[in-house]
Amino acid sequence: MITAEMVKQLRERTGAGMMDCKKALTQMDGNIEKAVDFLREKGLAAAAKKASRVTAEGLVESYIHAGGRIGVLVEVNCETDFVAKTDDFKALVKDIAMQIAASNPTYIRREEVPEADLEHEREVLRAQALNEGKPANIVEKMIGGRLEKYFKEVCLLEQPFIKDPDKTLNQLITDRIARIGENISVRRFTRYQLGEGLEKRANDFAAEVMAAVQK
């Protein structure tokens, strides 16, 4: 039996409408986790329809880590000024800025990675696999899998979301598109780290940011 409390829980987790939540729970026999996945898949379809819409509004957000050692500027776009002023959108942009501070991505999406960098990475991964004694006939398959891991490290949208590692940042944005009803896109970002390029403990700074945002 699908109860009002179950529908309420699913709405709070997904932001979907009441009837959509009830339908998802009914189709998934009351299993909330499966219903979340069902609605996420539905959200992906809805987001795809909005992907071609122009996003000329939005916000430029800043995030400065305690002590002023890491700073981020990010521009996130939406379709209307009305949505840009909502708490939901502002919270999303803040989360994206914190993600950049903590995870230090190089690119927004994998399509931005230069082919020269990809080829260099393939050569490094190929040498690693061969040095591990892997048979030559499976090395190329291993490279493909390890490249996926590389994309998750350097591409913002493919990184696990720092507040919920079970979803990527792209899934977070897609869920918000389904909830808000407008296309949302990350346009550009800049990340500054005190002493970057100098002989400082840069990795320690990033680790501190990660610990701070996960509290």
**Tens of pLDDT, residue by residue, the chain (215 residues):** 889 888 888 876 766 667 788 888 999 999 988 888 888 777 655 666 666 677 889 999 999 987 899 999 999 999 999 999 999 999 999 999 999 999 999 999 999 999 999 999 888 888 888 888 888 778 878 888 888 889 999 999 999 999 999 999 998 998 888 888 888 999 999 999 988 877 555 556 566 666 766 66
d(C-alpha 70, C-alpha 63), whole Å: 8
To the question of pTM greater than 0.85 for the whole model, the response is: no
Q: Are 134 and 85 in contact (CB under 8 A)?
A: no
Domain ranges of the chain: 4-50, 57-104+158-213, 114-152
Which of 107, 97, 25, 99 has its CA nearest to residue 62? Answer: 97
Contact 101, 70 (CB under 8 A): yes
CATH 3.90.930.12 fits domain 4-50: no
Q: Compute the distance between CA of residue 211 and CA of residue 215 in angstroms, rounded to an integer.
A: 7
Looking at residue 208, its pLDDT comes to 67
Those residues with Cβ within 8 angstroms of residue 81's Cβ, 6 or more apart along the chain or in another chain: 57
Q: What is the DSSP letter of 165?
A: E
Q: Any idea how long the chain is? A: 215
Rounded CA separation 215/181 (Å): 30
Architecture of domain 114-152: Orthogonal Bundle (1.10)
Instruction: Determine whether domain 57-104+158-213 maps to CATH 3.30.479.20.
Output: yes
- Contact in structure between 25 and 10 (CB atoms under 8 Å): yes
Query: How much is the pLDDT for 159?
Result: 96
